[in-house]
């Protein structure tokens, strides 16, 4: 059969599938309408359909049963309505593009050839007897991703099914019409990938289910590894693969796993917004996303300022005082390490016998319970009891002591003054809500009102005690850098102590101190293990320290972790030391998957950047041709040059153009320079989304995002002058999909020289 005839035959099948989808939609619309009316009626007549009788105990029980029955009926109808809404959404997606792949598979021995069409969701025929479309996550669909025509197999829950693929076909279907159709002998045909990768960048990441590669499929379908490590070069699709992995896990374990059991740490708020569309495109609800900074912030006192990782980066890149820069580097190196965690553990051990700092408990300016009394009580408890458990016992003791003080305060004059300030509602509540009220004995009424006033005034004190505010955690941590001595003294300890004391005195935590302090606080007051999170996904994992990983393993002890990152893009000083992405630092059982092919950028951009990438030898470009990177010596006015470049790129119909700067300081300067000449936006740390157009952004906020065209405004030797700038420059260049333009003022940086040699 000719290609045109075969294509028409496939289009006829698409038309038939769409016709069945339309019929299913009509049935669901009708059912949804009836359910909606039923829900409205139930809500309107809820109390009319409930038997309410509170005269006798048996009647009360009957009333409760009636209420429960009516509420359960309403909840069931609402669940059904929600389920229909989800089905309709899936059908709309399928109607637009029913499937993207087909394989013809015969089971051995002598099995019948089955045509398997693969899409983003399963679809049965109208009789619910045969699959018209298989969900891409179904076990049989793995054949499409893992094998070329020939011998093949797939795993089910109980068995391994062996057979043979006789045909592998890929489709591009838009608005129910086949726009492209390819028969292929490789995992995913280059034609389909070319079509997907040749498009312009989007302001949100798209689903890649149609173009998943074999190595990516290993990531997605991994069910057994406690720790899955994905080392992927820039543009290798590691983030996309992990999002499909999330969708796969929610499908595979749908009876025991929901979106609340999964958590993703993303590198910045902008990235969280960028990927927010992927799971809904696959018919799944988004999982919880946060940055590690926000996660730490939630567990640290609100009056303590925490330096963000981006502020730390900006300091490192712009600080001109070499002495201060040098000691910060030493500070970062120590406090990123497991050695520092060991030091804190030793300090914590010493606190079981002495050293914890407490706060006075005050009321109306007077000390009710002194910090010395609290310390005496704490250290009178059995030393074998853990510190957090002792804190719990101290809190209970303090609440008992507060009750005694509450009784003492009740008779004081200030209480009578406060009684006069009570509003009418509080008076009535006291009068009718208390059995002791006696119209003939006003002293009882006054006693009741005094109790109300004192209880109200002491409520704040009790709340603070329950929150362990009587422990001065920051000062206790600060003692580590003042009076405490240890047999293990790190290099430059005196300088580190002075620097840390200076910050802590001002209630300021550097980024390298934020995780150690949160860890210390948890060990002092109790940091509950999070058992609800079953899978934790960490993107840009190369930027986490050994201390941070160790802390996460303690907080999530029963959680499976997926780490994805690229050591070539490790931009935070010392973060990669002892990082799990580095093979020699892993000791526990894990699975490592390495992605070496870069799909984002054109072959010319990849060939250019791999020459100065730290691990460039392993990077393979995808065969997508484009223009080589432009290196231009910048002369004259910078803003005029940039305006001209941007206009040229816009003329090529590039929809997202990024001017990627080394620092926020440089980004601010360029934005001020360009804002009256070009319509553009600036991306900062608190930017949560970006739109098509021109943006100015520091490189550390562009991580994980891609643009049609990238301009690096200053790649001179003076600007990128340190060896640690290598990964920054590599990260900036690899954000470009189609066009990379690099300006230099004078001599180009060493990385450009390496690329050109």
| Binding positions | 232-239
Rounded Cα–Cα distance for residues 114 and 131 (Å): 11
9 backbone dihedrals φ, ψ, rounded to 5°: -65, -40
Closest-CA residue to 237 (of 214, 264, 267) = 214
User: What value, to the nearest 5°, has the Cα angle with vertex 90 and ends 87 and 95?
Assistant: 125
What is the rounded distance in angstroms from the CA atom of residue 136 to the CA atom of residue 557?
Answer: 31
Give φ, ψ of 182 to 5 degrees: -135, 130
Pairing verdict, β 597-598 and 535-539 = unpaired
360, 354 in Cβ contact below 8 A?
A: no
Q: Is 454 exposed, middle or buried (0-12, 13-18, 19+ CB in 10 A)?
A: buried
Q: Which residues are annotated as a binding site for ATP?
A: 232-239
Nearest to 578 by CA among 538, 541, 545: 545
Which tokens hold the place of 208? Answer: 């890649």
Cα dihedral: 21, 22, 25, 31 (round 10): -120
Strand-pair partners of 696: 659, 682
DSSP classification of residue 164? E
Strand, coil or helix: what is 19?
Answer: helix
641, burial (CB in 10 Å: exposed 0-12, middle 13-18, buried 19+): middle
CA dihedral 685, 686, 691, 697 (to 10 degrees): -20
In angstroms, the CA 138 to CA 209 distance is: 12
DSSP assignment of 168-192: EEEEEEETTEEEEEEE-SSSS-HHH
Degrees (nearest 5) of the Cα angle 513, 551, 221? Answer: 130
- Given its phi and psi angles, is residue 150 left (phi above 0), alpha (psi -120 to 50 degrees) or beta? left
The owner of tokens 């409930």 is 50
Instruction: Give the whole-angstrom CA distance, residue 28 versus residue 39.
Output: 16
Q: What's the angle, vertex CA 465, arms to CA 458 and CA 471, rounded to 5?
A: 140
Residue 388's CB is within 10 A of a number of other CB atoms, namely 15
**Alpha-carbon distance 11 to 3, whole Å?**
12
For residue 23, give the nearest of 127, 175, 129 by alpha carbon.
127
């Amino acid at each position: 059969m000719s290609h045109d005839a075969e294509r028409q035959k496939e289009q006829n099948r698409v038309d038939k599938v769409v016709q069945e989808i339309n019929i299913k939609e009509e049935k669901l619309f009708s059912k949804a309408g009836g359910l909606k009316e039923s829900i409205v009626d139930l809500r309107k007549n809820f109390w009319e359909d409930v038997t309410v009788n509170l005269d006798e105990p048996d009647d009360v029980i009957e009333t409760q049963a009636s209420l429960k029955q009516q509420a359960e009926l309403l909840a069931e109808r609402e669940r059904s309505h929600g389920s229909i809404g989800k089905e309709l959404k899936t059908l709309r997606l399928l109607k637009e593009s029913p499937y993207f792949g087909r394989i013809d598979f015969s089971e051995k021995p002598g099995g019948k050839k089955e045509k398997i069409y693969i899409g983003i969701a399963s679809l049965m025929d109208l009789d619910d007897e045969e699959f018209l479309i298989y969900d891409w996550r179904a076990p049989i669909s793995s054949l499409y991703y893992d094998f070329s025509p020939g011998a093949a197999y797939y795993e089910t829950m109980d068995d391994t099914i062996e057979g043979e693929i006789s045909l592998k076909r890929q489709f591009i279907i838009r608005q129910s019409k086949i726009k492209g159709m390819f028969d292929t002998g490789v995992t995913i045909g280059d034609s389909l990938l070319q079509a997907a990768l040749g498009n312009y960048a989007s302001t949100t990441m798209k689903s890649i289910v149609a173009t998943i590669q074999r190595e990516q499929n290993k990531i997605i379908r991994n069910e057994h590894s406690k720790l899955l490590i994905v080392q992927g070069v820039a543009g290798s699709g590691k983030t996309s693969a992990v999002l499909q992995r999330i969708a796969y896990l929610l499908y595979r374990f749908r009876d025991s796993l929901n979106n609340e059991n999964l958590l993703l740490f993303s590198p910045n708020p902008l990235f969280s917004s960028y990927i927010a569309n992927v799971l809904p495109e696959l018919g799944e609800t988004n999982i919880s996303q946060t940055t590690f900074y926000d996660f730490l912030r939630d567990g640290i006192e609100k009056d303590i300022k925490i330096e963000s990782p981006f502020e730390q980066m900006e300091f490192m890149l712009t600080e001109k005082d070499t002495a201060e820069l040098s000691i910060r580097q030493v500070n970062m190196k120590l406090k990123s390490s497991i050695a520092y965690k060991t030091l804190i553990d030793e300090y914590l051990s010493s606190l079981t016998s002495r050293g914890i700092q407490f706060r006075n408990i005050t009321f109306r300016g007077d000390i009710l319970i002194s910090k010395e009394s609290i310390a005496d009580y704490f250290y009178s408890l059995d030393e074998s009891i853990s510190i957090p458990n002792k804190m719990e016992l101290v809190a209970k003791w303090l609440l008992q002591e507060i009750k005694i003080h509450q009784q003492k305060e009740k008779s004081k004059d200030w209480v009578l003054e406060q009684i006069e300030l009570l509003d009418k509602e509080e008076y009535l509540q006291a009068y009718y809500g208390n059995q002791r009220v006696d119209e003939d004995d006003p002293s009882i009424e006054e006693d009741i009102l005094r109790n109300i006033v004192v209880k109200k005034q002491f409520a704040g004190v009790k709340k603070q005690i329950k929150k362990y505010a009587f422990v001065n955690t920051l000062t206790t941590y600060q003692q580590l850098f003042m009076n405490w001595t240890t047999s293990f003294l790190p290099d430059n300890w005196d300088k580190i102590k002075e620097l840390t004391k200076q910050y802590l005195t001002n209630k300021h935590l550097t980024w390298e101190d934020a995780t150690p302090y949160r860890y210390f606080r948890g060990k002092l007051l109790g940091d509950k293990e999070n058992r609800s999170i079953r899978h934790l996904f960490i993107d840009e994992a190369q930027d986490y320290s050994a201390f941070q990983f160790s802390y996460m393993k303690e907080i999530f002890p029963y959680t499976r972790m997926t780490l994805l990152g690229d050591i070539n893009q490790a931009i935070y000083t010392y973060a990669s030391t002892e990082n799990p992405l580095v093979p020699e630092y892993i000791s526990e059982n894990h699975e490592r998957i390495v992605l070496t092919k870069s799909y984002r950028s054109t072959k010319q951009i990849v060939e250019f950047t791999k020459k100065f990438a730290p691990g460039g030898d392993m990077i393979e470009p995808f065969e997508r041709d484009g223009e080589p990177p432009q290196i231009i010596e910048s002369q004259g006015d910078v803003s005029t040059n940039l305006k001209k470049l941007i206009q040229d790129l816009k003329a090529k119909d590039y929809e997202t153009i990024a001017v990627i700067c080394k620092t926020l300081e440089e980004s601010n300067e360029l934005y001020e320079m360009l804002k009256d000449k070009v319509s553009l936006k600036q991306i900062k740390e608190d930017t949560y989304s970006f739109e098509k157009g021109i943006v100015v952004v520091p490189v550390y906020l562009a991580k994980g995002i891609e643009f049609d065209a990238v301009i690096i405004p200053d790649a001179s030797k003076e600007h990128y002058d340190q060896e640690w700038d290598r990964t920054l420059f590599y990260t900036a260049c690899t954000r470009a999909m189609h066009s990379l333009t690099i300006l230099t003022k004078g001599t180009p940086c060493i990385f450009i020289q390496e690329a050109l040699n």
